C-alpha cells in the first residue's frame, strides 16, 4: 500500500521525512505580481513588496487539477486543507478526490478540512505521518485523524487585519479592532473555521500571556505545539520558552510563515497550533 500526504501551502510544510508528500500552492496576487506559494516563493521579497504596494491584492486557492496532479499515482492519499470557512481549497480537493477515485477504482482519498490554517495543518500532517508509519489501516487512520483534529486548535496574535478585511474575509467592524500602533488582536480559529477575535492587547508581552491563557482554556496540558511567525522570531521563541517553563519536555517547533500565511498574518503576526482537549 503506498501512501501520500498532500497539503495546501497554508500548512507551511514543504517537505516531509518519512512519507511521500506534496504541497499544493495557493497564490497571492498584487497588481502585476503573482506570488506562487511554493518552494521558490521569496517570502521576504513578497513582504517587502506588499509594504510599498498600495493597490488591490488578493489570494486564490488551488484548483481541482492542481490537487489531482499532486496525487501522482498514489494508492492512498490524505489531503489536508485550509479552512473551508475562508477558502475554496477544501472544495477543490473534494472534487479532485471524487474524480481521482472514479478514474482509478481501488484508490482512496480522504480530505481533512482542518477548519484552520498554518501550524494546525502542520500538526495534522505530522500526525498523519505518524499514523501511516505505525502501519494502521486506511479507514482507521481516517477515524483517528478526524478525532485528532477535533482536539487540535489554532490561536494567534495579529497586528493588522488589513488583508483579511480587504479580501472580505472578516468584517470591517472586526478589522477596526487593530490598526492602531502597538495593538494586537489575540484570537482563535472558530469551530466554523473563521477568524474569531478574543481580546485586544497592547504589545507582544501581553499578547503572549493572552495566548497562553487561551491555550490552557482550550485544554493544553503539554501537548505538541507548532508556532509560525511573520518576521517575529523574538515572539515565537519567547513563547516557546514560556511554554517550556510550564512543561519541560515539550514537543515544539518554530517556523517562518510561507507566502499565503505571511500575507494574511502580516508583519509581526504569530500563529500557534497545539493539541488541546
Ligand atoms: O482561498 C484563498 O484565497 C485563501 C484564503 C485564506 C484566508 C485565511 C488565511 C489565514 C492565514 C492567518 C491568521 C489565522 C487566522 C485563522 C482563521 C481560521 C493565517
pLDDT in tens, the chain (277 residues): 699 999 999 999 999 999 999 999 999 999 999 999 999 999 999 999 988 898 999 999 999 999 999 999 999 999 999 999 999 999 999 999 999 999 999 999 999 999 999 999 999 999 999 999 999 999 999 999 999 999 999 999 999 999 999 999 999 888 888 877 789 999 999 999 999 999 999 999 999 999 999 999 999 999 999 999 999 999 999 999 999 999 999 999 999 999 999 999 999 999 999 999 9
Q: Are 138 and 4 in contact (CB under 8 A)?
A: no
Ligand 1 lined by 261 (C-beta under 6 Å): yes
* Ligand 1 centroid, distance to 86 Cα (angstroms): 6
String of b and e for 95-126 (b: at least 16 CB within 10 Å)?
Answer: bbbebbeeeeeebbbbbbbbbbbbbbbbbbbb
What is the model's pLDDT at position 54? 87
Among residues 89, 107, 88, 86, which one has the least CA distance to residue 98?
A: 107
Between the CA of 10 and the centroid of ligand 1 the distance, in Å, is 8
Q: Which candidate, 153, 134, 164, places its Cα nearest to that of 221?
A: 153
Q: Nearest-CA neighbor of 24 among 59, 58, 57, 61? A: 61
Kindly give the number of the ligand 1 atom that is closest to the alpha carbon of 61.
1
Gap from CA of 209 to ligand 1 centroid (Å):
23
Cα dihedral sign, 11-14-16-21: positive
Closest Cα to atom 5, ligand 1: which residue? 87
- Best residue among 190, 195, 266 to mutate for probing ligand 1, ranked by most atoms within 8 Å of CB: 195
Residues of the chain with CATH 3.40.50.10440: 3-26+61-149
What's the confidence (pLDDT) of residue 178?
Answer: 84
CA atoms lying within 13 Å on the CB side of residue 13: 30
Of 3.30.1180.10, 3.40.50.1400, 3.40.50.2300, 3.40.50.1240, which CATH number belongs to 152-275?
Answer: 3.30.1180.10
Sign of CA dihedral 30, 33, 34, 38: negative
Domain made up of 3-26+61-149: CATH architecture: 3-Layer(aba) Sandwich (3.40)
- List every span in the chain annotated with CATH 3.30.1180.10: 152-275
The pLDDT of residue 81: 98
E-assigned strands of 175-237?
A: 183-189, 195-202, 225-229
Give the CA radius of gyration of the chain: 18
Could you tell me if the CB of 83 is within 6 A of ligand 1?
yes
Taking the centre of ligand 1 as the mean of its atom positions, its distance from the CA of residue 237, in whole angstroms, is 23
pLDDT at residue 60, rounded to an integer: 98
Of ligand 1's listed atoms, the one at least distance from the Cα of 118 is 19
* pTM beyond 0.95: yes
17 near 130, Cβ under 8 Å?
A: no
Look at residue 245 in the predicted model and tell me its pLDDT: 97
Measured in angstroms, how far is the CA atom of residue 99 from the centroid of ligand 1? 26
What is the reported pLDDT for 175?
87
C-alpha distances (whole Å) from 90 to each of 97, 103, 135, 149, 173 are 10, 20, 27, 15, 27
Amino acid at each position: 500500500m503506498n501512501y501520500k500526504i498532500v497539503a495546501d501551502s497554508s500548512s507551511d510544510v514543504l517537505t516531509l521525512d518519512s512519507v511521500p508528500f506534496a504541497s499544493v500552492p495557493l497564490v497571492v496576487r498584487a497588481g502585476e505580481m503573482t506570488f506562487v506559494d511554493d518552494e521558490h516563493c521569496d517570502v521576504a521579497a513578497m513582504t517587502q513588496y506588499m509594504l510599498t504596494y498600495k493597490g488591490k491584492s488578493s489570494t486564490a486557492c488551488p484548483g481541482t487539477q492542481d490537487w489531482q496532479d499532486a496525487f501522482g499515482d498514489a494508492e492512498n492519499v490524505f489531503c489536508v486543507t485550509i479552512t473551508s470557512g475562508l477558502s475554496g481549497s477544501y472544495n477543490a480537493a473534494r472534487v479532485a478526490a471524487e474524480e481521482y477515485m472514479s478514474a482509478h477504482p481501488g484508490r482512496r482519498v480522504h480530505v481533512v478540512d482542518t477548519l484552520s490554517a498554518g501550524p494546525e495543518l502542520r500538526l495534522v500532517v505530522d500526525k498523519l505521518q505518524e499514523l501511516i508509519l505505525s502501519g494502521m489501516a486506511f479507514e482507521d487512520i481516517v477515524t483517528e485523524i478526524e478525532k485528532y483534529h477535533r482536539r487540535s486548535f489554532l490561536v494567534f496574535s495579529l497586528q493588522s487585519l488589513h488583508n483579511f478585511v480587504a479580501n472580505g474575509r472578516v468584517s470591517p467592524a472586526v478589522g477596526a479592532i487593530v490598526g492602531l500602533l502597538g495593538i494586537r488582536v489575540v484570537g482563535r480559529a472558530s469551530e466554523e473555521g473563521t477568524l474569531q477575535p478574543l481580546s485586544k492587547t497592547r504589545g507582544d508581552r501581553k499578547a503572549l500571556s493572552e495566548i497562553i491563557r487561551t491555550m490552557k482554556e482550550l485544554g493544553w496540558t503539554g501537548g505538541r505545539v507548532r508556532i509560525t511567525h511573520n518576521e517575529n522570531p523574538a515572539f515565537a521563541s519567547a513563547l516557546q520558552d514560556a511554554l517550556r517553563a510550564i512543561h519541560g519536555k515539550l514537543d515544539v517547533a518554530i517556523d517562518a510563515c510561507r507566502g499565503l500565511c505571511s500575507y494574511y498574518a502580516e508583519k509581526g503576526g504569530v500563529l500557534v497550533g497545539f493539541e488541546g482537549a
